[in-house]
Structures are given as structure tokens and as C-alpha cells.
Structure 1
Amino acid sequence: MPSNVGAYAAGPTPIQTASGRTRRSSAFFSTHNNGQYIELDDLGVATSPIGEEARYASAPKAKSKKLYIPNTLWTRLFAITGIIETLGTVGIESWIFISISNHFDDEGENSGTSRLRSFLGLYIFALLYELLLAYDALRRKNTFQLMGLCVCNLGLLIYGVIQTKEIKDTLTNLSGTIANGDTLWSQYRIALILVPVVLAVGTICMSIVTWKLRAEFSWTIYKSISADLQMSWRYTTYQVYIALLKFDFFFIFGTELQVILAVQHVVNREFILQAAMIPVAIVSLILAARFCRLEKKKSLICMMILMAVMIASFVYTLLRMFQGEDSGLLNSYHVSLTLFASLAMLLLGITLVNSVVCICNFGKGLKEHIDNSRKPKATADPENSWTEDTKSRFVLN
């Protein structure tokens, strides 16, 4: 008895699609002992089960970048902590800034009022910049940047204590007498004390949440880098480097701003040089991050030279403040300028060392991992998962 296995019907067979339309396919019915089946040699093109229109509609579309929103418990807690802390401290500092400015408006601009406004304005900028860095760290899942924010928050707490004493002394000098200074100080004392208290609570909460996020982000990095310990170490070095550049900017900006306010003369050559340092620092730090990601060795070395020039500039500024002929202009910012310049030099020095380590890691496969992590991952599309070489058989019982 002749077997009908492998027998094919003549001519293309019409197939009814999900939309109800009947269309002819290049597929042919075959007969098997267990029933009929269809061999589909080009399913992706000729036999889409939902019709020709849906095949074009299911093509992958370019995804637009969406605003990052924390989507886990610990990322939300960190974001909420940062927002509440910033709203509280910036609100207090802004009220003090406006109140003191209105009180001394009649006296005009002098070294005392400039000093007060620089303290308060720089502090407000630091708090807002820290909130921006917190958002960036959560979006990029940079654990080391979160740790740096905890340390920075502690530093702002210490600076808040120093600021309290500096503002009290400045108010006394501007008021003329100790009695008038104490009366004016009593209006702001509680508010200025509240700022370090809020920062202390915020630092504790941020440190606890950062510890929890460390494990969460480590798992994300593990899925991207896999179990390659050397590659994980290179990626860690890169993350630390990027985080350092962001903190470098703030302390460089704070130092240069205080020097500019101390000089106070636009025609002064020193003023022009210090003012030019701010855009140079911004551009050099941005380029340093880009050149490190693209593994441009010579270009990154040029940025390292600029960082070394900045360190030399800060050393020169401190020497002038302590023993130079212009020390009188800088003495009013003695405490805060020393603090900012010292931290800027320390961070820039660490950044230079980290730059050397990053250069040693060039050409070892890290660039591909960084590029892949920056690209949006396409979702799997079952309608387009077939290749030309794929053959599928559907048994028709």
C-alpha cells in the first residue's frame, strides 16, 4: 500500500489570517502519519499569522529617552530623603539670605555683606547641586557616587557649623556693637542651628539606604559585567573616576567664587584669571569624562595637565592668603577658602591618580561594556524573532 508521507499538494495553498483575510502562501501542506503539517521556509516574510499590515507595524521603533523615576523601595527612599533634606535646608538658608540682604540694603555692598551672601549663596548652591548628583547617581546606579554624597553631606554639616560662627562674627562687625550684633543674631540663631541638625538626620538616613542600594546596584553590575573580576574592577575604577569629576567641579567652583568675591575688581588681572578658571574647569572636567569613556589616551593626558595647573593655582592662592601682599583681601574668607581650596586640591590629586589607573585599563574591553550599558536594550518581539534560515512545522491534527 503506497505511503502518503511526504506527499505535497500542488500549488500554493490559501491560508486564513487572524484578521479573517485569506491569502496565498508559499508554504505547502505535507502529509504525515499523524496528520498534516505545514513547512514554512520563510515564515517571517510570507506567512505572518496576523497579516501583512501587522508585520510592518511590529517593526522595532526608536525609543525616546524617558525621565528616570526611582522604581524600587530603596531608590525611592533615597530620593525622598534627599528631597526632604534639600527643601528644609534650602528653605531656611533662602529665608536667612533674603532677610539679611534686606536688612543691610541701606549700607550698600561691602566686604561684610559680600561675605554673608557668599556663605549663604554657596551653601544653597551646594545643597541643590547635591540633590542633582543624587538623582544622577540613582539613574546611573553608581554606588560610589552615593557613598560620596554621604561624605559630602557630612562635609556640609561641618560647614554648616562653621558657617554659624562666621555669620555671627560678621553680623557683630556689621552692627557696630556687640549688643546690636547679639540682637540681630538672635533672629537667625535657631534657624542656623536647625540646618546642621537636618543634615545630620539626612546623613544617617542616606548612609543606611546607601548600604542597601549597594547590594541592589552590585547585582545590576554583575548582570552587565558577569563574573569577570578583572573587568568588574576596571568598571569600578571608571565609576569612581566619573564620581570624582562631579565632586571636583563643586569644590573648584566654590574656591574660585570666593576668590572672585574677595578681589572685587573687574579690571584687576587676578579677577579676570580667576573668572576664566571656572569655564575652563567645567570644560576640562566634561572632556576628561568623555575621553576616559572613549579611551582617548593623549587627550586625557592633556586634561590631566590642566588639573595639575588647577592644583598649582590653588596652592598659589593659599600662599598669597597666608603670607602674600594681597592677604588682606582674602582674609575675610580665611576659613571657608582654606577649606574649599584644600578639599579641591585633595580631590584633584585623587582624580589624577585615578586617571593613571584608567589609562592603564584602556584597550582591555571595558569600553565595549560601557557602550553596551548606555544603549537601551530592545525588548524581545516574538513576531520578528524568525530568521530566514528558520523552519517551523505546525502539525494539523
Structure 2
Amino acid sequence: MAPEPLLSTRAQRAFIGTIGLQAIIVLVMVSITFKFVEEHVDLTIPRYKTLPCYLALFILAEIFEMFMALDALRLRNVIQLIGILSFHAAMIVMAALQIHETHTALYEQPNSTSYYNPYVNGDGPGTLWRKIEPFLVVTPIIIALSWVCLVFLFRELYHEFGWAIFHVVGANPVMKTMYQYYQIMICLLKFDFFAFIGVTMQLLIVVLIESTAEFGLTIAAIPVTLVLLIMAGAAVQREIKSIMSISLVLMLASQVYLTGGLFAQLVVMSSSVYKLVRFYAPSSEDQYITTRATLTVFTIVASLLLFATFGVGVRCFADFDKGLQSSKMHGQYYKPVATQLRENLFGN
């Protein structure tokens, strides 16, 4: 029997189609907002940089979500599908925060010491804010509606993929639990990377100055973090204790720092508590005011993800050398049940 092709069922096609359609609508709304603002303001001014940051974040988020969805369907990974639903819900929050932050960036009091333009800096009828506000409001609504559709489709996919783990590890409940922890670990590493990129992108676009050492170190941290995440994933899959031990130590050490995902601030060496204080301290709040809500959420979520990754990593480490490595290496093949059972019986 030939392997079952990806996206061969209605639920799978609908799941990917829903993500793709909402991504198109959302990116159109964000792009229109960006275009209207770009026509009237200088985006190199720090307070207005929240708009290009907003556009960049959503482009990254939509590409990442599509990749994760295709990967989850390819692997028949129910846990990763749950992660996608959580990520999609987080996008609703992010889109809602952008309404507040864009208003903060544009609106200024008439008595401000800076140049005041009633059309650009006001928020009454006939202003730039009123022109772009509908597009900003539509974005979280579209994401929320698509989330409801994804939840409904998840129920169908859950039943469709229900036997996937059984085909990999058999009926042993202990092996099933160990494999589920392994799936959670791999899923967390993927989301750790997005969280790191999200915070890094905001810092590079909105906050950091190109001529500073921190800017260069933040750029350098991107490939370093990617390599470390890949190392952690390979270590837990191949059960390499030495690399896994190093990864866990780095995760634990990173709890002291603003990681944005994992290990980057081991290079930048900035305390997460210190960064959060700087977001709201009177002496530095102007530097962060138009993006500090999103940065705060990303920082807190990244820290929680890192904490969860460390905890699950320790659990996975304890499961090394217990007979699961072969299942990890071969994964959940995308094949019909009959084909998989036949292969198991005849040992092919």
C-alpha cells in the first residue's frame, strides 16, 4: 500500500486553508495600516518604529504558524496542534496590543515640545488614527474567528491522529508517556525560537541603536541561539547525555537573563528583571513607550517557555536509555494504519 499523502483529508486541508486565509487577510490589514502611516510620518523617528515592527512581527508569526501546522500534520502530532492553537490565541493578544501601541505612537498632546500635526498626532474625527483604526481592529477579530474554526477542526484531527503514538511505541502506557514528553520538548524548542526572534526583532527595530555594542551582540546571538536550539533538539532525540546536560545547564543559567526564547542574553548579559524595570522606569520609558506592552508580554512568555522547556528537558533526560530512542529516531510516519501494522508484524 502506498504512503498516505499529506493533506489527503478534508480536515487537514481545511486546517491549513484556514491558517492560510487568515494570514492573507491579516497581512493585508497590517500592510494597509503600514502604508497609510508611512505616507505621513517619518518611520525613522523612534516613536513611529512600532509600525514596521508590527508588520515584521506578523509576517514572522504567519510564516512560523504555517510551517508549524504543516509540520504537525506531517508528523500527525496532536501535541504540536495544541501548541498551534495556543500560539494562535497569543496572536489575538498581540494584535489587540498593537491597537494601543499604535495609538500611543501617533497621539501627542498639542502642547508637546515636539512638532505637532493635528492630522497625524490627533485622535479625533478626520485624523490618521481614525483612518487606520478599523484596519487595526479587524485584525484581532479575524484571528479570533479563525481560532474558533481551528478548534473545531482540531477535534476532527485529534480523532484522525489518535492512533499515531500507538503505532510508534505500542500499547505500553509508560512508553506512551515518555514519548509524549519528548514531543512536548521538541514543540517547546520550536516555540522558544519564535519567542527569541520576536523579542530580538522588536529590540533591533524599535529600541537598540545600530552603533551600540548591544546591537551587534544581539545580531550575533541569533545564529548562536539557533545552533543551541538545534543541539538541544538533537540531544533529546538521539539521547546524547553530554549535549543534553550542557543544554539544561544553559537553560537554567538563562533563567537569570532576558532570553527572549533561550540563550541569547547569555551573550548580551542583561537581567530580565532589569529589562522589565527599564520598560517602565521614568528615566528610560520614552525609549520603550510605543512597544513596551508587546515587549513585556514577549519577555514574560519567553521566560515561562524557558522554564517549561527546562522542566520537560529534565524529565526527558531521566527517560534516556529506556528503550525509546528508536521510536524517537523513526518518528510518526505518515502512513495508513494497515501499512504501519504490516511493517511492524513483518519487521520491515
Q: Mark yes or no: TM-score above 0.5.
A: yes
Give RMSD over aligned pairs.
2.6
Q: Counterpart amino acid of 2:230?
A: I
The 5-angstrom pairing of residues 106-117 of structure 1 reads: 107=42, 109-117=44-52
Unmatched tracts of structure 2, length 5 or more: 109-113, 259-271, 341-348
Distance 1:376 1:157 in 2: 31
Check 1:334–1:193 CA distance in 2 against 1; reply closer, same or farther (3 A cut): same
> Could you tell me which residue of structure 2 aligns to residue 162 of structure 1?
97
Distance 2:249 2:153 in 1: 37
Q: Counterpart amino acid of 2:210?
A: V
Q: Contact 2:91–2:143 (CA<8 Å) still a contact in 1?
A: yes
> Could you tell me which residue of structure 1 aligns to residue 14 of structure 2?
77
Cα shift at 1:327: 5.0
Check 1:355–1:175 CA distance in 2 against 1; reply closer, same or farther (3 A cut): farther
The 5-angstrom pairing of residues 283-298 of structure 1 reads: 283-298=227-242
What is the aligned-residue identity percentage? 28
The 5-angstrom pairing of residues 89-128 of structure 1 reads: 89-104=26-41, 107=42, 109-128=44-63
Q: Counterpart amino acid of 2:71?
A: D
**Is 1:244 matched with 2:179?**
no
Cα shift at 1:307: 2.7
Distance 2:304 2:159 in 1: 29
Q: Counterpart amino acid of 2:176?
A: S
> Could you tell me which residue of structure 2 aligns to residue 87 of structure 1?
24
Q: Contact 1:284–1:306 (CA<8 Å) still a contact in 2?
A: no
Cα shift at 1:238: 0.7
Q: Counterpart amino acid of 1:368?
A: S
Unmatched tracts of structure 1, length 5 or more: 1-62, 381-397
**Is 1:348 matched with 2:273?**
no
Check 1:376–1:155 CA distance in 2 against 1; reply closer, same or farther (3 A cut): closer
Q: TM-score, normalised by structure 2?
A: 0.82
Q: Contact 1:263–1:271 (CA<8 Å) still a contact in 2?
A: no
Name the count of aligned residue pairs: 313
Check 1:189–1:339 CA distance in 2 against 1; reply closer, same or farther (3 A cut): same
Check 1:211–1:254 CA distance in 2 against 1; reply closer, same or farther (3 A cut): same
> Could you tell me which residue of structure 2 aligns to residue 194 of structure 1?
138
Other structure's SS at 1:312 match = coil
> Could you tell me which residue of structure 2 aligns to residue 217 of structure 1?
161
Distance 2:282 2:224 in 1: 25
> Could you tell me which residue of structure 2 aligns to residue 205 of structure 1?
149
Distance 1:250 1:372 in 2: 26
Q: Contact 1:94–1:124 (CA<8 Å) still a contact in 2?
A: no
Check 1:278–1:311 CA distance in 2 against 1; reply closer, same or farther (3 A cut): farther
Cα shift at 1:292: 0.6
